[in-house]
Amino acid sequence: MDLVLDILDEYAFDKVYAQLVPASAFASSLNSTILASTSAGLNSTLNLPFITSGSASSAWSHLVSYLPHPPLPEDLLLSPTHTSIPLTSAWPRDYIPRQIISLSVVTMVGIYLLYFVFATLSYFYIFNHEMMKHPRFLKNQVRQEIMCSVKAFPGMMALTMPWFMGEVRGYSKMYASIDEYGWPYFFLSIFLYLVFTDYGIYWIHRWEHHPICYRWLHKPHHKWIIPTPFASHAFHPLDGYAQSLPYHVFIFIFPFHRVLYLFLFVIINFWTILIHDSDMITDHPLETIVNGPAHHTLHHMFFTVNYGQVRSTVCSSSFTYTNSFAHNQYFTWADRMGGSYRQPAKELDPMLDIQALEAKRKQDLGKDQ
């Protein structure tokens, strides 16, 4: 998330905050000549954006002047009158309230875009709409899935915010240059990431099926027996957050390249949507190794098998969101070791139920005639 925030600060947020929270609102006066001559130094030491502009409106400045802010440089507090000054923000990039607001905006915009764009594309171009004829497909289910997701995103984002803040404030072990750990560790870290998150999410998901918490925590997601791609993020907020924890925890234990982290986040969220298409394609070469849509379809149908396919929530790079706000597993090894693996098979395809229902309907029509 620090990478995303750096980019947005540089190209958008610096200008936005300079307009919304101008330093001039807190200064009884500003000497434009001194400010102009020292602006480069201020930017380099305080991360204050320098934007040539007029002063903010007096009404807005008066309103903003009540906001908290870190100590301003003495150079900004020289003159007893307001004049036309270079516009800088009183909230530097490393100011905690600014970071929280920025992360919240990025996360919410990112997860909504990701969810609606990818889920809509998957729904119209991948999802088999014949599945909606299944007897266990709910009335207005797509609308219910969307509403459940939309309501869950803010809660998941709020729960995840401490992890976001820890990341952008430099407490994680993410790094920017390959040279810091070298290429061998770069590739090793991918393996560590997959193993750590696979097993972590497997056990969190499996524990969520325990009677003590299943009904109120995880059952809302199992409302969708025959899910559509819009069910991919239809979770209780705490459920979605819990299943994202291994992804957040990992980067505070193991060094991990920040671009790689962002890339994998995009792939994970896309895969989360893809596995909720109720597809039962079987007999492909990777079926026993990679957790695919067929495995997760069986989990929604039988509940206690194939825990290795869940979603990620608004996780830490939700510019792509976030959540951060969705995560899943990639391989079948955790289910195999946990004794919960069930092999997809053609005879388990929910489409057979639809075909049987259609055949019975035609048979009944024939009898009536």
- pLDDT above 80 for 131: yes
Could you tell me what percent of the chain has a pLDDT over 70? 71
- pLDDT above 70 for 318: no
| Across 278-287, average pLDDT | 62
Residue 53 or residue 64, greater confidence: 64
Question: What was the pLDDT predicted at 54?
Answer: 45
Question: What was the pLDDT predicted at 31?
Answer: 44
Distance CA 84, CA 65 (A): 17
Query: Given the DSSP bridges, would you call strands 174-175 and 256-257 parallel, antiparallel or unpaired?
Result: parallel
Question: What was the pLDDT predicted at 186?
Answer: 97
Question: What was the pLDDT predicted at 145?
Answer: 94
Give the E-state strand segments of the chain in sequence order: 174-175, 256-257
Nearest to 230 by CA among 311, 133, 322: 311
* Class of residue 186 by CB neighbours under 10 A (exposed 0-12, middle 13-18, buried 19+): middle
Which range in 124-128, 249-253, 300-304, 330-334 is most confidently predicted, on average pLDDT? 249-253
User: Which CA distances in Å does 241 have to 237, 248, 339?
Assistant: 6, 10, 25
pLDDT digits (tens, 9 = 90+) for 84-113: 455 789 999 999 999 999 999 999 998 899
- pLDDT above 70 for 16: yes
DSSP state of 223: G
User: Which CA distances in Å does 125 have to 5, 128, 274?
Assistant: 33, 8, 11
| Across 228-234, average pLDDT | 88
State the CB neighbour count (10 A cutoff) for residue 353.
16
Question: What was the pLDDT predicted at 177?
Answer: 94
Nearest to 310 by CA among 188, 252, 249, 224: 224
State the CB neighbour count (10 A cutoff) for residue 7.
12
Question: What was the pLDDT predicted at 226?
Answer: 84
Give percent helix, percent strand, percent coil of the chain, each to the nearest 5.
Answer: 60, 5, 35
Name the residue with tokens 């009335």. 139
Look up residue 173 and give its two tokens.
């072990």
Distance CA 358, CA 130 (A): 11
Distance CA 349, CA 343 (A): 12
Query: What is the chain's mean pLDDT, rounded?
Result: 78
Question: What was the pLDDT predicted at 315?
Answer: 39
Query: What's the whole-model pTM score?
Result: 0.77
Torsion of CA 108, 112, 114, 116, to 10 degrees: 180
* Class of residue 189 by CB neighbours under 10 A (exposed 0-12, middle 13-18, buried 19+): buried
Query: What angle, rounded to 10 degrees, do the helices at 96-125 and 258-274 form?
Result: 40
Q: How confident is the model at residue 184 (pLDDT cuts 50, 70, 90)?
A: very high
Could you tell me what percent of the chain has a pLDDT over 90? 36
Give yes or no for a contact between 294 and 281, defined as CB atoms under 8 angstroms apart: yes
Nearest to 134 by CA among 226, 220, 222, 221: 226
Distance CA 295, CA 287 (A): 9
| Spatial CB neighbours of 324, under 8 Å, sequence gap ≥ 6 | 107, 111, 156, 157, 160, 164, 244, 265, 312, 313, 314, 315, 316, 317, 318
DSSP state of 26: G
